[in-house]
């Protein structure tokens, strides 16, 4: 699978968030603020996982349909990946 530049950009933004959290911890900032930023980072990671799984699923389903193959196993695998990531 070829990853879209949007996925790379999302991950770079998440990387910046995590670096920001580390900086907050090094500066002994308030626990609530640190947890809020960590929660935002986790949410961003979850959305990125969903994006990657959906992009891959779309590509695989399209190929299977073109080849006249069943797509049921692909959909189950994608759902399992999403469930496992939570």
pLDDT tens figures, 23-78: 999 999 999 999 999 999 999 999 999 999 999 898 889 888 999 988 898 899 89
Task: Give domain 5-85's CATH superfamily.
Answer: Metal-sensitive repressor, helix protomer (1.20.58.1000)
Is 53 within 8 Å of 81 (Cβ atoms)?
A: yes
pLDDT band at 2 (very low <50, low <70, confident <90, very high): confident
């Amino acid at each position: 699978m070829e990853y879209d530049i949007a996925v790379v950009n999302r991950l770079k933004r998440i990387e910046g968030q995590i670096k920001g959290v580390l900086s907050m911890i090094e500066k002994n900032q308030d626990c609530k603020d640190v947890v809020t930023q960590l929660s935002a980072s986790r949410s961003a990671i979850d959305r990125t996982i969903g994006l990657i799984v959906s992009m891959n699923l779309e590509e695989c389903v399209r190929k299977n349909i073109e080849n006249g193959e069943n797509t049921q196993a692909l959909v189950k695998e994608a759902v399992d990946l999403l469930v496992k990531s939570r």
